[in-house]
Every structure is written in C-alpha cells, then in structure tokens.
Structure 1
Amino acid sequence: MITEADLKADLRRYLQDARDALLWKLDGLSEYDVRRPLTPTGTNLLGLVKHLAGVELLYLGFVFGRHFDEPVPWFRPDLGPAAFARNADMWATAEESREYVTGVYRRAWGHADATIAELPLESAADIVWWPEEHRRATLHRVLVHMIAETHRHAGHADIVRESIDGAAGYRVGDVMTAGDPSWWESYHEELERVARGAANDLKRPSRRSPR
C-alpha cells in the first residue's frame, strides 16, 4: 500500500534531482561565466539559481503561511508585481556573490522540505495570481508545479552551460558527459548536413503532375 509518506518521498526526490542538476551547472566556472547573459532575454546560470530560490520560498513557504526568517533582498511577495520589476530575481548583482545566492537556495530547500514534511498533501493554499479556477491549490499540486518549474529551468541551464564550455549532461558520469568529443563533433556535423538537405528538398519544386 502506498502511503502519503511514500508519495512525498517520490515527489521530493524528483524535486531534489532537479535542484542538484541546476547547481552542478555552476561547477568549475568563473564569476563572469556564471553571470553572463547567453540568450536574447538574458538567461544566465546564477540568475536561474536566484530565481528558483525565490520560487521555493514563495510556493513551499509563503503561500502556506510559512515565512522564511532570513531577509532575502529579491524575495518580496508583499510588493506584488513590483517585486519582479526589471527581472530583479533573474540576475545577480555584483554585490551578490555566487556563495551567497547558492547558499540562499540551499537554505530555501531546507525551508521547503520542512513544509513538505510537516503539512499533509491535501493542505490548501490560496494562490491569488493563479487563474480563478486553479487558485485554491493543494500542497500536492504545488509540489508538482515546483518539480516542473525546477526541471524546466535546469533544462535552460543545460543549454547555457553547454554554450559556455561544451559541458553537458544531467550529472557527472552520465551518457552525455562520458561521450567522446570527436564523436559529438561528427554527430553535430551529421545533423547539420541532414538539416541543410531537408531545407534544400523543401525548396525544390514538386515533381507531381497537375491533375
């Protein structure tokens, strides 16, 4: 028989896998590389960590009336939309060190994990910024939301890190990190060749006879 404790353990494990994968993407990089924007919308590794620290404090703390004792400059849910002006939670200022941001994230895990451990999965929160039909959400639903959110941003981090130094994979030693660089280069070239061939095929006029 599956118990609530079993369900919580499964959900938390998937959440923790994404947390760990995200932080691993910062390992071995310079201060510049963890901060520099690598998409037109400014996506950067340390900003993803900073954002998710606030998201954990919001969804696995604040909405259930469980407030974080430590002041966090970018976490101001009392300000409403103004708290997210200029994407303030998506990049780290020069004064916010890597150690500080990742430390807040880890402490947010502890705060969130305590919420998961102490509240029943059917505990409800009123999430006023969600659509009316969804705003009354259980802890179970919020946990699923957090898993999806964290894995989504860990995927962003995958692409950003690979564009910096080619490092790829979910964790050290997985199939991506263990690949031969020459194999990946030839694989990339093959995909480029196929893509160009497909594009050229689409440009050719159809040989079908008119009816």
Structure 2
Amino acid sequence: MDQHKDDLLGYLQRAREAVVWKLEGASELDVRRPLTPTGTNLLGLVKHLAAVDSGYLGEVFGRPFPEPMPWAELDAEPDSDMWATAEESRDELVALYRRVWAHGDATVAALELDATGLGPWWPEERRRPTLFRVLVHLTAETHRHAGHADIVRELVDGAVGAREGMSNMGSEDPAQWAAHRARVQAAAEAAS
C-alpha cells in the first residue's frame, strides 16, 4: 500500500479505536443510556459508525459488507442506527465494527486512491467520489463521532482522554479541573 493510503488509514483507524475505547470500563447501562437531548450514547455511536464505514468502504465501491445491518437499510426506522436494542450486545456490536474495519481496509488495499465509486445518497454533483475523497470524508465523520464519544463518556463518569494511557488533557488533578470549571462558569455569568 502506498504512503498516502497508509496515512489516511492510520488517521481513520485511530478514530475507530478511540470510539471503541470509550466503552471500556463503562457499565452496560452507561454505554447505552442517552446523555443528550437527541439521545447520543456510546454504543449507538459504534453501531452508527459500523453502518457508515460499511457503506462508504463497501457499497460505494461495489464491495458490499457481507453481513446484514437492518438499521442501515433505506426502509429502517429513523435513527435506529444510533442506539442499541436490549438484544444487541456490546460485544457483538464492537466485533461487528471490527469486521467492518477489516472489510473496509481490504477495499482500500484493493483500489487506487483515484478509483471512483458511487454514493447514491450523495447529491448528484458529488455522487461519484474517489476513494481518496471517501477516506477523507469517513475519517472526518469518524473523528467527529469520536469527539461525541469523548463528551458522552465524560458525562458518564468523568473519564477523559484521547486513547489508553494518554489523556491529552494537560492535567490529571481533579481539583485543578474543578477550579478551571469554576473560572469558566464565573466568566460566563459575568459576560451575560
């Protein structure tokens, strides 16, 4: 694989792994419960990204992912890809997402970056994206949802960090964060 593919897949893989890592150590309730008014939850982000990744690095390039994902079908209930039913286990959804990664990575390995696909859900003028464009788009989408997962996990139990062993937060001292939060709150109140 050429260096450009390696770089693109490296950034995509870091985001994929970050989303899955956010589930580690959280209870079954905490990975499933909605923590925003729109219902964002950790396991739903994994389920959603499995569908997104399989669509962009599967269907778009004529290499559909071989396993059914009813929540990703056009006739699926709206937002059914954004939460896990009681029957869908964490382990099953994470394992599915990992199989989707392998399938997508095989698509990238098999094609040139200028290979053209068909994204029927994209507007007509962008419906024939290159593999390069899809990788950039998918990486941005996955990192966006990794950011959602960061915030949702912090709301669950205060856990933060970019990846295991690296918080990327500057301080590990809860007292410092409490003081920082108080300063931010005071500034917000003073400005309003």
TM-score range, shorter chain: over 0.9
Find the partner of 1:114 among 89, 96, 106: 106
Give the Cα separation in 2 of the matches to 1:32 and 1:176. 26
The answer to whether residue 51 in structure 2 is matched with residue 54 in structure 1 is yes
Cross-structure match for 1:191: 184
SS of structure 2 residue aligned to 1:99: helix
Cross-structure match for 1:144: 136
The code of the aligned residue for 1:130 comes to: W
Gaps of 5+ in 2: none
The answer to whether residue 78 in structure 2 is matched with residue 125 in structure 1 is no
Give the Cα separation in 1 of the matches to 2:104 and 2:6. 13
- What is the root-mean-square deviation of aligned Cα atoms in Å? 1.3
Give the Cα separation in 2 of the matches to 1:67 and 1:191. 48
State percent identity of aligned pairs. Answer: 58
The code of the aligned residue for 1:140 comes to: F
Q: Which consecutive aligned stretches of 4+ in structure 1 deviate over 3 angstroms post-superposition?
A: none
TM-score under structure 2 normalisation? 0.95
The answer to whether residue 34 in structure 2 is matched with residue 37 in structure 1 is yes
Gaps of 5+ in 1: 200-211
The code of the aligned residue for 1:191 comes to: V
Give the Cα separation in 2 of the matches to 1:192 and 1:174. 23
Q: Which of these two proteins has the greater Rg computed from alpha carbons?
A: 1
Kept in 2: contact 1:167–1:177 (CA 8 A)? no
TM-score under structure 1 normalisation? 0.87
How many matched pairs?
A: 191
Give the Cα separation in 2 of the matches to 1:175 and 1:129. 36
